[in-house]
Structure 1
Amino acid sequence: MMTKFIPHNARELAFTSLERVRKTRAYSNLQVDETLRRHELSPADRRLVTTIVYGTLQHQLTLEYWLKSLTSGKKLDSWVETLLLTALYQFHYLERVPNWAITDETIKIAKRRGNPGIRKFVTGVLHSALRNGFPDFSEIKPLSKRLSLTTSVPQWLVELLIKENGERVTKEILQAINDPSHVSIRINTKKSNLKTVKERLREEGIETNESQVAANALVVTSGNVINSPLLKNGTIIIQDESAMLAVESMDLKPQFKVLDACAAPGGKTVQIAEQLSSEQGGEVVALDIHQHKVRLIEKNAQRMGVGGEVTPLALDARNVTEQFKDEEFDRILVDAPCSGIGLLRRKPEIRYTKTEQDSQQLHKIQLAILNAVAPKVKKGGIITFSTCTILQEENDQTVHEFLQGHPEFKLERTKTARAIKDDRDSATLTIMPSDYDSDGFFISSLKRNL
């Protein structure tokens, strides 16, 4: 009987974490966070675990193609396949790690987790990989298939991106989503300012650059901000630069009443609240379907010192008529459910679980939310519709269809503090992952006629 495999070192922890993500479709970021929280590891080993898990997921299709060529397409146990994929990832992408160390550790795991036969098979595959090297993709046709395999993005998505953006932009996007992501932070303007935060982080050994995308934001260049007291006390919040722009574009005033229709976990809610004043009647009502997520919004608001401006509520945004009268809000943010294709750099497994049918279904949900909240914004007020995807069906097509059914609204040009992509032709703003090395994001501004 096979004994239970208990991981002891960084590579074993990376392997078991990745196996769980691939088997249960757990979110990679949550799985990695849990692994790092439960095990005492050196900074170097923490980096190795993170790199192997994210890297193997990021290049999964490429690695599977390589593995298939080494095993003649033989059907493997899922854990054996996962183990070999981690080894192939390290062989090709981690140039500073010696091949003998990767081989030795992988064989040890195969021996402990499996039996002598599996150990022998794994040993043979590893030696074959080192002997034959990385496969040549240059002759693979059509282009969409070659790009799919070299960048590890499903072929349907590559074809859709080419159709919507052309070959050149698609190649840039596919390159960018496999580059390392960086950590960006937004400064809570109710508690501090950019200059002070930058200096205090430097004192903690954390170096930053001012964001070129969003106002009141810094990009971390070295150091670990996760343990900063500034994060714990709500002076700063971790948020992607492009995601900050949705609220930045809303043109808020302290006395406004705002609806955040799809609010959890509350990053944009607190960003709205920072610009409001409860003393002047300012308030943001933050909705989510799930009660536990509403509690998370409340917790974030308290930490950021804006609890007085935030009213969390468990409610499906499609049912707002049950709770609110017409023309109640000055501004409404619909940061809508979407496929999350703009987040591929940060959540690499998304690319393998989403389908084109998902986009079609999400388009319908987005329209239902917009149709429900439309009467609730005041005349002259604005609905900001945003997503973290770059697919047109969930973005411009949703906006176009909404406007066709609502002649009382018109599309305003989305503006940001740093005039991002100000030379574009469209009124809506689409940020590609290749534009600023941030997440892909979409923002539109729908103004209700007076």
Structure 2
Amino acid sequence: MSENETARSLAVDALTRVAGGAYSNLQLEKIIDRSSLNDADRRLLTNLVYGTIQHQLTLEYYLDAFVKPNQKLQPWVKMTLLVALYQMLYLDRVPNWAIFDEAIQLAKERGHEGIRRFVTGVLHAVDREGVPDVSQIADPTERLSVTYSMPQWLVTTLQQQLGEAKTESILKTINQPAAQSVRVNTAVTTVDAAIQALEAVGYTVDVSTVSGDGLRVDGHPANHSELFENGQLTIQDESAMLPVEALQVQPGDQVLDACAAPGGKTTQIAAALDPQAGGQVTALDLHAKKVKLIAQNAARLRVADRVNAMALDARKVDDEFADDTFDKILVDAPCSGIGLVRRKPEIRYDKTPEDSQHLQKIQLAILDAVSKKLKPQGLLVYSTCTILDTENADVVASFLKTHPNFEAVRVTTTRNVKADRTTDTLSIYPDDFDTDGFFVSALRRKA
């Protein structure tokens, strides 16, 4: 195997690109598809990439102790060192000499002699002196930020929203691996039949405690299964299934999915519709390429006969639809995605409070535009995959203030999640059920 094809060198490549703005999951897919790695090395590569990103602020804090202040490192050099530190501190199967050997070899092959000496010196100093003790950081916010690798503004925001104990509980869980969950496509099979079929081919299966058609599966990637291929199930997080449950879709409903790509929720809506009764879901996305994805998902899940996917900005629904057209509307709004940090760990480093404020304006504009298309007594569900009030409770409050013809109603879900909550809205935090973070609200148009 060439130098370019070791798991560690490919991890450095992926991380360097992610640092430049690429998505970790897409980079990994591309690199794995092009590589000749065996299963064990693919798993190692995935672990190195996600683990390094998840613990990036912690690892950078450690590295800073061994690098001169203001010393500028080339991105690939920095990533070579962070990957080595991650292996030394978080993985226990590889001895330090082997980690050093490969990192130094990489520095030698990709850089000049000065870089090789620098990398060698840093790694030996870490081995000799150990890394600084994070618990000695005096400022409590900085200490939490470095310990759990979460930007300080997010730590502060969550503390203001939820208090210190809940914030730390969330931070403790976000760097754990995400569970593999699937939604059974009830348009073509049943939950019981899907469980039997998965167990028959070696998967361990648990029924979701969160969503009615959700399963947690352990074993091979679920999208490699025959059930995925033939449309009996799809990959979807358990909490991501709740907005559609809250929509209470009836077989003959006309439904608008205003921000639909890649179509997970569209096809979930479609599974509850009956085309014989006239049920249809109209799925919108800004980009034609993403509309194709919705159509492909609908075809694989065998619900294309009840899905109408079209390229349209949800803020411009006046161009296509008359008022009072839809029985139900789902706005699964574009958001900061902070609830997805387990699956997209880099998302926490890319966002700012200003991003959240900007997204709020877009979210309100979408709600304002689509609300006119809902029939009287119709239900509008607004959801996000973030855990920030700016884009959740604040948006709902602002919308209701300017739309007196709407009222908040209590979100209901199949498994009656968080039955003891005191709010009409439903907030799922990453530590509640070890799922993605999600927010769901239900708004009824008055008669």
TM-score of the two chains, using structure 1 as the length reference? 0.97
Q: 1:65 is matched with which residue?
A: 61
Counterparts of 1:22-37 in structure 2, within 5 Å, are 22-23=19-20, 25-37=21-33
Equivalent residue for 2:315, pick from 297, 313, 318? 318
Separation in 2 of the partners of 1:218 and 1:100? 42
Q: 2:106 is matched with which residue?
A: 109
Equivalent residue for 2:326, pick from 315, 329, 342? 329
Q: Find runs of 4+ consecutive structure 1 residues off by over 4 angstroms.
A: none
Q: Does 1:268 align with 2:272?
A: no
Q: 2:384 is matched with which residue?
A: 387
Counterparts of 1:280-299 in structure 2, within 5 Å, are 280-299=277-296
Q: 2:146 is matched with which residue?
A: 149
Separation in 2 of the partners of 1:301 and 1:77? 44
Q: Does 1:375 align with 2:372?
A: yes
Q: Does 1:229 align with 2:226?
A: yes
Structure 1 residues 390-427: Cα deviation after superposition (integer angstroms, max 9, x where no partner): 00010000000000011111000001111111101111
Q: Which residue type is aligned with residue 325 of structure 2?
A: E
Deviates more, 1:434-443 or 1:96-105: 96-105
Separation in 2 of the partners of 1:77 and 1:251? 53
Q: 1:97 is matched with which residue?
A: 94
Match of 1:26, SS? Answer: coil
Q: Are 2:223 and 2:234, in contact at CA under 8 Å, matched by a contact in 1?
A: no
Q: Which residue type is aligned with residue 325 of structure 1?
A: A
Aligned length: 445
Q: Does 1:39 align with 2:35?
A: yes
Structure 1 residues 254-278: Cα deviation after superposition (integer angstroms, max 9, x where no partner): 0000000000000000000000011
Once the two structures are TM-superposed, the CA of residue 149 in structure 1 deviates from its matched residue by: 0.7
Once the two structures are TM-superposed, the CA of residue 72 in structure 1 deviates from its matched residue by: 2.8
Separation in 2 of the partners of 1:449 and 1:135? 60
Separation in 2 of the partners of 1:31 and 1:89? 19
Counterparts of 1:367-446 in structure 2, within 5 Å, are 367-446=364-443
Q: Does 1:239 align with 2:229?
A: no
Once the two structures are TM-superposed, the CA of residue 195 in structure 1 deviates from its matched residue by: 1.7
Q: List alignment gaps of at least 5 residues for structure 1.
A: none
Separation in 1 of the partners of 2:32 and 2:215? 25
Q: Are 1:411 and 1:446, in contact at CA under 8 Å, matched by a contact in 2?
A: yes
Q: Which residue type is aligned with residue 154 of structure 1?
A: P
Structure 1 residues 324-359: Cα deviation after superposition (integer angstroms, max 9, x where no partner): 111110000000010000001110111111000000
Separation in 1 of the partners of 2:67 and 2:279? 63
Separation in 1 of the partners of 2:220 and 2:95? 26
Once the two structures are TM-superposed, the CA of residue 40 in structure 1 deviates from its matched residue by: 2.4
Separation in 2 of the partners of 1:223 and 1:129? 37
Match of 1:443, SS? Answer: strand
Match of 1:308, SS? Answer: helix
Q: 1:307 is matched with which residue?
A: 304
Structure 1 residues 135-160: Cα deviation after superposition (integer angstroms, max 9, x where no partner): 21222132111111111111111111
Match of 1:384, SS? Answer: strand
TM-score of the two chains, using structure 2 as the length reference? 0.98
Counterparts of 1:102-141 in structure 2, within 5 Å, are 102-141=99-138
Once the two structures are TM-superposed, the CA of residue 120 in structure 1 deviates from its matched residue by: 1.4
Q: Are 1:336 and 1:385, in contact at CA under 8 Å, matched by a contact in 2?
A: yes
Identical positions, percent: 52
Q: List alignment gaps of at least 5 residues for structure 2.
A: none
Q: Which residue type is aligned with residue 156 of structure 1?
A: W
Separation in 2 of the partners of 1:37 and 1:210? 32
Match of 1:421, SS? Answer: coil
Q: 2:13 is matched with which residue?
A: 16
Q: Are 1:428 and 1:445, in contact at CA under 8 Å, matched by a contact in 2?
A: yes
Equivalent residue for 1:53, pick from 45, 49, 54? 49
Equivalent residue for 2:177, pick from 158, 167, 180? 180
